Amino acid sequence: MSPQPKHQILVVDDNAINRMILNKILSDTYQVVTAENGQQALDICEKEKEHISLIILDVLMPVMDGYTCLAHLKEDSQLSTIPVIIAAQQDRETDEVKALSCGANDYVTKPYKPEIVLKRVENLIKLRENAALINMMEKDSLTGCLAKDYFYQKITALFSDPKGEPFNLAVADINNFKIVNDLYGTKNGDAVLKILTEILSQRSQLVGRLGADIFAFTVPQKDSYENEDFRSIVTELNGKLGLTLSISISFGIYKIHDTNVGISLMCDRARLAAKSIKGTYLSLFSIYDDRLRMKMLTEQRITESMETAIKEHQFVVYYQSKTNIRDNKLSGAEALVRWISPSYGFMSPGDFIPLFERNGFITKLDMYVWNQVAEDIATWIKEGKPVVPISVNVSRADFYLPNLPDIIAGIIKEHDIPVEYLHLEVTESAYMNNPHQIISQVTLLKRMGIAIEMDDFGTGYSSLNMLSELPIDYLKLDMNFIQKGLSTPKTRSIISFIISLAHWLNLVVIAEGIETLEQVNQLKEMDCTYAQGYYFSKPVPKDVFEQILLTWKIDASGQAEKLHEFPKEIICKKTGTDHPAILIIEDANIDKQVLAGMLEEEYQIFTANDGTEGYEALRKHKAEIVAVLCDFVMPVCDGMQFLTTIRQNPEFADLPVIITSQESENVAVRSLENGANDIISKPYCKEIVRSRVRNVILASKQ
């Protein structure tokens, strides 16, 4: 078979370099013809109109500019069907709007991004071809199933078909479809949609596409459905795709009793049913019923009353103690919130927290709790009661507050409590959503002296990378992880490993959800010192907790964990003071320790978490420090800022500095230009690190 002829693309730009670049980007896939201005372009189009599949048109050109050319093209009934992409430097947002309103089909900005140019060209050519083949209104161009509105029409027609089989309406909602696109590319994502359409079409009289990854289809009318009714769809889909990721689908069913309910509402309800089981992997489908509606109504009622609840102090802080299991002393507590509502009674967090997380109210509630806890601590101090550090939850959404550290600082100041009594618990999922934001916020909070606890470790991704990147002090192992983990030898050894790793990173481990003596003993064997759970105490209201404070023995300092806090500077013990010293500036604990380990035989080691701390350490120990190793990327004061700062100070103008970074040419060149003496790339190699450090020190002495 002869290969398909390449589509022809007309590139119109007065600038020779730009034409060459577009030619380079496109010529692998397309045949490219060029014109230097609008007039030339029109002449070529006249002659070649059957062959040109698309035009890429520059705006500013001599003789005839892009918009004039576009206007001529649109006036001609034949030429007007050729898709046009306007290429321009994006000076103003309105440029794109102007291009589209003048009849351009799409817009690309300069400098060109090859992937984007290719994708837009591909899309438009595909679109034009599909438009020619099928009626766009009836069919979904990608999958070939019915488009939404047409599907609605056909279903409505089925209702009035006297011979038709009775049916119900189902939707298939692909879970985490975005991940498929991210992991395997849109080509595979498209394949998922196409294959699913095929499979549904074999089983159903009508299939329509409601949204990006949501399909509606008819199912035979039955009283009840089984998982088996839907499992084969998913199995067949995954079998045909053969991706390493197994795709799951949530199905929702709307039972049709009354055809007067609009079809669009039926689809919405089926979608709602599907949505209600997202994330629960046991059931494949859910049937829309009044319970679902009730649940929505309840949520609505909660939403309506939540503001009042805060005003009327219906939210109450409970305290659950944390215990040192070596000596059974109280070492701290976690603040948990309960809702005691005059209308609904006592509500546990599971009833309202997930909703608040979705609707954003959680931030308000969290702040309320932080204030309440600070007030309680202040009261205990004032009344001369013993006090332990109390940890409060910081939800994912709180990190989107632009001034989170200021808010916390404000609360501490307002209630005038020592900073070490308020700990913050952050969750892994918060980090996963928005690592950079979290790292910089947490770093600022830590700098204020606030201890950070990583909550729920083990429930989500349990990323070791996160442990090294986030400057945390405590690791809370999640209760489910513990309960499952302690039951088999294999998972027990995983927990044991995590505990050792945490200790190596200078993190204190707190086991959550401890309910039995057996668990306590196992934790002791694993060298875990702190635990929290019903075995010790359930969450209790303030007055009961005050009794605990008065009667339990308190961990000597009231904050035993502080012993483990990673010091701002450590001096390695192995070396004598006559050794020269190296300063390592690095925000990630693991990297810091790895470097220190490689160098500690020959040098004293000082460490700092960022450029600002590094500069302080340098001024304090200038007599001993003979070289600095500084990370390029750090959240607060990064490698380049540090370099610039110290090179301005004559005292350190000649001090050898090595920049550490993941390999990148731009970093290397920038570093050397800014006065670095050498570069070490990550991951580190012991021999290279040692030899580079030795070399820069020797060179500086000459």
Partner 1 sequence: MNRYDLVKAGIDVNAALNRFGNDVDTYEQILSEFLKDPHYQEMTDAIKAGDCPSAFSAAHALRDIAGNLSLIDLYDALNPLVEALRKGCLEDAEQAFEPVPALYHKLVEAIQNQPKKVRNAWMNG
Which chain residues interact with partner 1 by CB under 8 A? Answer: 14-18, 20-21, 24-25, 28, 60, 89, 91, 110-114, 664-666, 669, 673
Report in angstroms how near the CB of residue 18 gets to partner 1 at its nearest. Answer: 6
Report in angstroms how near the CB of residue 21 gets to partner 1 at its nearest. Answer: 5
Exposure class string for 124-151: b at 16+ Cβ within 10 A, else e: bbeebeeeeeeeeeebbeebebbbbebb
Q: Which residue has the tokens 């690095």?
A: 586
Name residues whose C-beta falls within 8 Å of residue 477's C-beta, 6 or more positions apart in sequence: 457, 458, 495, 498, 499, 509, 510, 511, 512, 528
* Residues 62, 463: Cα–Cα separation, whole Å: 57
* Residues 401, 392: Cα–Cα separation, whole Å: 17
Closer CB to partner 1, 50 or 115, in the complex: 115
Closer CB to partner 1, 34 or 286, in the complex: 34
Report in angstroms how near the CB of residue 74 gets to partner 1 at its nearest. Answer: 25
Token digits of residue 468 = 């090294």
Chain-centroid distance, C-alpha 411? 28
- At 477 the three-state DSSP class reads strand
Report in angstroms how near the CB of residue 109 gets to partner 1 at its nearest. Answer: 9
Closer CB to partner 1, 284 or 679, in the complex: 679
Report in angstroms how near the CB of residue 59 gets to partner 1 at its nearest. Answer: 10
Closer CB to partner 1, 58 or 478, in the complex: 58
* Residues 73, 75: Cα–Cα separation, whole Å: 5
Closer CB to partner 1, 14 or 600, in the complex: 14
Name residues whose C-beta falls within 8 Å of residue 618's C-beta, 6 or more positions apart in sequence: 583, 625, 628, 646, 652, 655
Closer CB to partner 1, 118 or 544, in the complex: 118
Report in angstroms how near the CB of residue 561 gets to partner 1 at its nearest. Answer: 45
Report in angstroms how near the CB of residue 15 gets to partner 1 at its nearest. Answer: 6
Q: Phi and psi dihedrals of 10, rounded to 5? A: -100, 120
* Residues 422, 370: Cα–Cα separation, whole Å: 9
Nearest to 10 by CA among 33, 42, 39: 33
Q: How far apart are the first and last CA of the chain?
A: 72
Nearest to 386 by CA among 558, 505, 543: 558
Token digits of residue 408 = 């916390």
Closer CB to partner 1, 674 or 695, in the complex: 674
Chain-centroid distance, C-alpha 632? 23
Nearest to 575 by CA among 611, 532, 546, 605: 605
Report in angstroms how near the CB of residue 189 gets to partner 1 at its nearest. Answer: 23
Closer CB to partner 1, 383 or 665, in the complex: 665
Closer CB to partner 1, 65 or 420, in the complex: 65
Report in angstroms how near the CB of residue 636 gets to partner 1 at its nearest. Answer: 25
Closer CB to partner 1, 18 or 323, in the complex: 18
Report in angstroms how near the CB of residue 110 gets to partner 1 at its nearest. Answer: 5
Report in angstroms how near the CB of residue 61 gets to partner 1 at its nearest. Answer: 10
Nearest to 454 by CA among 501, 498, 510: 510
Q: Phi and psi dihedrals of 310, rounded to 5? A: -65, -45
Closer CB to partner 1, 13 or 555, in the complex: 13
* Residues 241, 27: Cα–Cα separation, whole Å: 31
Longest dimension (CA), the chain: 99
Closer CB to partner 1, 94 or 551, in the complex: 94
Q: Which residue has the tokens 């090595």?
A: 658
* Residues 191, 652: Cα–Cα separation, whole Å: 60
Report in angstroms how near the CB of residue 34 gets to partner 1 at its nearest. Answer: 15
* Residues 329, 335: Cα–Cα separation, whole Å: 18
Token digits of residue 328 = 């059974």
